């Protein structure tokens, strides 16, 4: 038994891997991590860009696709879906054993569509149908245009990972889009027991911005605390939303919690503990998705104890103190979401450029 097993059996928290690549699928790393208690995988354009640009393992596949006449996006689509499908198949046993509780692999709709509801819907439905596996989650950003797409996809019975959430308003928007979508599904005689969703709440990027503002003000007391405080308040909101008569009516029909998923949980500041955003965010019905180095640190020395519901009053006071210091936290979170969409869109363009360059070198000579 490992700490990942302990986190799940003792605290009902699932640890997912925030990385995917053919190398860790082929060399046994993924299998080893699953044996050690890994319960899911998340991906995004930045991850795929790193995987493909940093490895020659994709060259034969790219060459075959080039020979078949695939364009750059077609190559990306085939390669990314191939990796996601392979990981999902490796996790299918866990998905079945947990009755759909875990074993999911997330794949993101192109971030270039983040501000287009209808295009997001069409692409999400296409990817879902193409992968044709029950343990896939389609990642949709929690932008104003993404929220109605999330509701409609849940209403279609499609699993959704709602991503790029930074604020409590983002959380409310996503949670109620999920509840509304489930009610739409039930109204169409659909079975909510077969739908799963997570709400990906980004953590360390908050401290990355707020710590700088606090440093400029000479305030050290709140540095390294605001991201965790924000997540604790989101969890408190989760407990409120997923209780009461409205939720109980859906739960009686088999509906699952939309679990908060802590994303961006690697520690960027070297002065902070490497499992800062693990140890302080442990609690029932949550997921923490970790890059490989943070996952290995978690296996080695994370402290398994429920922490997510501790110090909530202090967390509220810490967030409230920002306004008194002249820091507009709502603006911070709004800017972070916009920056996150742009960053993923930039990574997606970089990924397509990488594939195009690789494809050009692998084209058969005439």
3-class SS shares of the chain: helix, strand, coil, % to 5: 60, 10, 30
Give tens-digit pLDDT for 270-280.
Answer: 999 999 999 99
φ and ψ at 250, to 5 degrees?
-75, -40
Number of domains in the chain: 1
pLDDT of residue 187: 98
Give tens-digit pLDDT for 339-351.
Answer: 999 999 999 999 9
Domain that holds residue 245: 3-360
Residue 366 lies in a domain: no
Distance CA 346, CA 49 (A): 10
Give tens-digit pLDDT for 295-336.
Answer: 999 999 999 999 999 999 999 999 999 999 999 999 999 999
Extract the runs of DSSP E, i.e. beta strands, from the chain: 13-17, 40-41, 104-108, 136-141, 160-165, 197-202, 259-263, 286-290
Residue 365 lies in a domain: no
- Going by C-alpha positions, the residue among 203, 125, 141, 230 that lies closest to residue 177 is 141
Give tens-digit pLDDT for 234-282.
Answer: 999 999 999 999 999 999 999 999 999 999 999 999 999 999 999 999 9
**Which positions are annotated as active-site residues?**
139
Q: Which two tokens stand for residue 355?
A: 């594939």
Maximum alpha-carbon separation in the chain: 70
Residue 283 lies in a domain: yes
CATH number at residue 128: 3.20.20.70
Residue 191 lies in a domain: yes
pLDDT of residue 365: 56
pLDDT average, residue stretch 170-183: 98
Residue 213 lies in a domain: yes
Give tens-digit pLDDT for 61-92.
Answer: 999 999 999 999 999 999 999 999 999 999 99
């Amino acid at each position: 038994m490992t700490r990942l097993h302990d986190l799940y059996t003792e605290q009902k928290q699932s640890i997912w891997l925030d990385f995917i690549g053919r190398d860790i699928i082929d060399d046994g790393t993924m299998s080893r991590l699953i044996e050690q208690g890994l319960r899911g995988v998340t991906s995004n354009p930045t991850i795929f860009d790193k995987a493909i640009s940093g490895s020659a393992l994709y060259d034969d596949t790219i060459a075959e696709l080039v020979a078949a006449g695939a364009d750059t996006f077609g190559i990306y689509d085939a390669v990314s879906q191939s990796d996601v499908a392979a990981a999902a198949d490796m996790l299918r046993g866990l998905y079945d054993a947990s009755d759909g509780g875990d074993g999911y692999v997330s794949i993101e709709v192109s971030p270039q569509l983040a501000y287009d509801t209808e295009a997001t819907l069409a692409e999400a439905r296409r990817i879902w149908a193409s992968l044709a596996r029950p343990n896939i989650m389609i990642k949709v950003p929690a932008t104003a245009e993404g929220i109605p797409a999330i509701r409609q996809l849940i209403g279609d019975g499609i699993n959704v990972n709602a991503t790029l959430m930074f604020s409590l308003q983002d959380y409310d928007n996503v949670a109620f889009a999920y509840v509304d979508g489930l009610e739409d599904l039930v109204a169409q005689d659909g079975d909510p027991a077969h739908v799963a969703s997570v709400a990906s709440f980004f953590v360390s990027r908050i401290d990355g911005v707020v710590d700088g503002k606090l440093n400029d003000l000479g305030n050290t007391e709140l540095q390294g605390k605001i991201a965790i405080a924000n997540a604790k308040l989101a969890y408190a909101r989760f407990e409120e939303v997923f209780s009461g008569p409205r939720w109980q009516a859906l739960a009686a029909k088999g509906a699952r919690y939309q679990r908060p998923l802590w994303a961006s949980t690697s520690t960027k500041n070297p002065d902070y503990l490497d499992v800062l955003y693990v140890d302080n965010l442990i609690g029932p019905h949550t997921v923490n998705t970790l890059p490989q180095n943070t996952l290995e640190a978690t296996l080695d020395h994370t402290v398994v104890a429920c922490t997510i519901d501790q110090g909530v009053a202090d967390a509220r006071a810490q967030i409230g103190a920002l306004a008194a210091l002249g820091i507009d936290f709502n603006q911070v979170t709004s800017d972070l979401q916009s920056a996150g969409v742009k960053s993923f869109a930039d990574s997606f363009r970089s990924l397509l450029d990488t594939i195009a360059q690789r494809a050009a070198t692998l084209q058969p000579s005439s």
